[in-house]
Structure 1
Amino acid sequence: EIAVRTAIGRGGVAVLTVPGDIGDQELPSDRPARLSVAGSANRPDDPVLDEAADALRDGGKVTMLVGRGARGAREDVLALAERLAAPMVLTLKAKEGFEGDNPYQVGQTGLIGNPAAAHAMDEADTLLLLGTDFPYREWYPEGKKVVQVDRVAEHIGRRVPVDVALAADVGPTVRGLLERLERRKDREHLDDAREKFGTWQQGQQRLAAPGHDRGLIGKVRSALDNRDHLVRPEALAAAVDALAADDAVFTSDTGMATVWLSRFVEMRGSRSLLGSYNLGSMANAMPQAIGAQLLDPERQVVAFCGDGGLGMLLGDLMTVRSRRLPVKLVVFDNQRLGMVKLEQEQAGLPEFGTELDNPDFAAVAEALGITGIRVSRAEELAEGVSRAFATPGPVLLDVLTNPEEIAVPAKPTIRQGWGFAIAKIRENLTSPGGP
C-alpha cells in the first residue's frame, strides 16, 4: 500500500517489485487493500496571487500554454481563458481534457504543432503557463513576461525565465486569479488566433480528403511526393478519428504516428491518450494498448503504430491473441523510420539507414489468428478502416502510407527548408546502389 501511494503521489514512471514470498500470501476478507491517495489542493498566498493578477491584467495580450497538470481544473481554466480573452495552446498531454468543446484552444506548438499556436505564442505580451513542463526551449518566444503555475517547484523557470512563480496546484490558483480579474473587452488577440487555427484546420482537412490526389492540386503534388499513389497518412488518421468511439483510448508510437494523431484525432467526449511523450520511447503504442485493454476490456482501444515500432515488438501480437484483447492496431506502414528521415532531411542530410524491409503485417497477424487487413491504395482506405472497426476482437490494419509526406513544423525556418531541398537533391543524385 505504501509503495502504491508513493508511486501515485510522485507521478511519472514507477516500477513496483513484488517479492515472491509476498505473492502467495492471502489478504483477509475483513482487511481490504487501502490504496487511495487524496489529491492535493495547494493555493498560493494572497500577495503572490495579487502579483500574478496584476501581471495578467496589465500585461497586454495574454496567451495560455496549458499542460497535463491543469486537466483536473478544466472549467476553471476555460473560465480564465474567457476572462483574459486568451488563446489556449495545448501540450500533447493536454489534448485529453481540453481539446473537445473548447472555443479558446488553438492546438499544439513545437515540431508537431501548427502556425496558429506559434503565432499566438509569438504575438503575446504575456505567457501564462499552467501545469506544464513543455520541454522544447526553442519554441518559447523571447522577451515575454511569464507567469507560471506548477505544483512542482523545480519545474518553474527551467524552460523559460519566469517573472511570477506560483508553486501550487492549478485549480485553486486559477480560482484565486478569477476572483481578482475582470473580463477583458479587447478580444482581437483571441479572435485572430482562432481564425488562423480554423484556416489551418481547413487546409489539413483538404489534405486528408479521400479524393485529394484526384484534384488538380493533388495531382501536381502527387507527381512530386507520392508517385506510387500510396495512402496519405493524414487521410488514415482522419478516417480513424471519424469512426473511433467518443470514449476510445488512443495510444501512439513516438514519431510520425504521433504527429498524425496530434493533428487529426480530436480528444472529444471522454477519449483518453497514452504515449511516451516525455521519454520518447520507441514501440510503446502496442504494449500500452494491451495494458489499457486489460484494464478496461469493454472500452475501445486504438493504437497508432509506426511500422518500426510494431516490428520491434511483433511478439506482443501473441499476447493480444492469447488474451483475446479486442485492440485495433492501426499501422502507418511507410517502410521508414519516418521522424528520423525527416530530421535528417531538415538538416540537409540525405536519407540514410531509415528504410525498413517490412513483411506483410496483416498476413503476420492472420498467421497468429488475428484479423489482418491490408490497404495499399487510397480508394481502399474507407472500406478498410470501416471493416477494422466493425470486426469484433483484435484487428491489425496495415496501411501502406506515403513515406514522402512532410509534417511542416509550426514555424518552418529558411534553414530547414534549404536543408530539406539540399537533402532531396543529394538523394536524387545518389544512385540506388551507390554509397
Structure 2
Amino acid sequence: MRFADVPSGRVPEPMAEPRMPRRVLIVTGQHFAAAPRKVDLHFMADALRAQGDHVDFLTCRLSPISRFLKDGRYAYARSRLLNRWVEIGPGFEEFIWFAPFHPMNLKKPFLNRLSGLFFRRYADLLPKAVRDRLPGYTHVLIESGPAPLLTPLIRRKAPDAQIVYHAADRLKTIGVHPVIQEVLNESIGFYDLVHIMAEAMRPDFPADAPVLYLPHGISKGVFDQATASPYAKPLNAVSVGDMLFDANVIDTLSAANPDWKFHLFGKKALPAKPRDNIVVHGEVPFEAIVPFIKFADIGLAPYRLSDGADYLSQSSLKMIQYSYSRLPIVAPAFAAGGREHVCAYDPADASSIREAFVKAQVYDRSRIDVSGIRTWEEAVQVIFPADRSG
C-alpha cells in the first residue's frame, strides 16, 4: 500500500493475508525508550511490537552541553548505557547517542547564523553502530525536533525505507535552532509521509508534500480496564502534562473553587502558589495516570500562549484522552477549536477562566462523541504500512 493511496484520516480495513515483519527506527530528540513518562512514540512502539515487529529507538540531542540544561535529560541519560544498542525488551532496543555537541537555539540571530553552519554537520557524528543498521529498516520515523538533521544521511543509507516525518509540534513552537527548519524544508522530498496531527499544520508544508492528517490514537484497553476511582471525594479536575504549562490558570481556578481538587501531572506542572486544594503528582507512569483521567470531573489543558500554538486543539494527546473519558475540557480559546465540549477562555482574563470552568461543571457529558477516536493499533497500520506477501 502506498502512502498516497490512504485517504486523509481514514484507517484501512485489517487485511488477513500474511505480511513481512517491520523493522522500525524511531528517531527522537526528546524522549527515551524506557522512561516512565509515555508519549505517542512509546504507544506506537508498543502497538508495533504487539504485532510482531521490531522497534529501535534512537535518542539524540545529548552532549556535554546537556549538563548545563535544566530539562533533566542529562541526569537520566547518565543513568543509562550510552552510545551502544541496549535491549529494553523483546523486539525493542534503544541507542542513547551522546555526541561531542548537539544543536541548540542560541537565541541571537548572529550566533544562530554562525552555529548553523556547524550544526549542519551533526549527522556526520552519527556512530557506526547506528549507521550499520540503517539499510535494514523498513520504516524510519523522524520526530519533530533536531532529528530532521539526520534525514539526508538516513535516506542515503536506507534508500528502500519508508521515511515518515512525525510532526508532533511546530519547530518554532518548541524553539529549535532555525537551521533545523532550513534542513527540513530542503529535504522534504526525502519523506514518504508527513504525518500531522492537526489540520492547522497542513499549510506548513508544500502543497505537493505527502501530508496525512491522522490524530493520535489512544490505549483504549488501558482506559477500559480502569475500574477503581483514585478519588476519595467528587469534584476533581485533572491536568496532564507540562508543555506550555500556564500556572496562572491553576492559581485562578483553585482560588475561585476551594471545594474542588486540582490534580497536576508532569515534571514541570507546578502551581504559582501552593494551595490545599492543589495536588502535585509530578511525573507518573501512564498506567497510574489513567484512573485519574477516567474518573475526573473536568479535564484541564492550561496551555500558555505561544507563537503558532493553534494546532494544539487537534494534536494534544491529553485532550483526546480526556475526550475518550467524556470529560468536559477547560482550555484557552486558541486550543479549543473542533471540540464542542471544550469550554474556552481568554488566558489574559481571569473572569473568562472562571466562567469557562463553571460551564464545564454543567456540561452534559453524554453529548461527547468518542466514535472517531482510534486505537494505537489502528494508527500504526496507516503510519507504517506493511508489505504483504504474495
**Shared fold per TM-score greater than 0.5:** no
TM-score category (smaller protein) = under 0.3
Larger radius of gyration: 1
Structure with the bigger percentage of helix: 1
Give the TM-score, by structure 2 length. 0.25
Give the TM-score, by structure 1 length. 0.23
Greater relative contact order (Cα < 8 A, sep 6+): 2
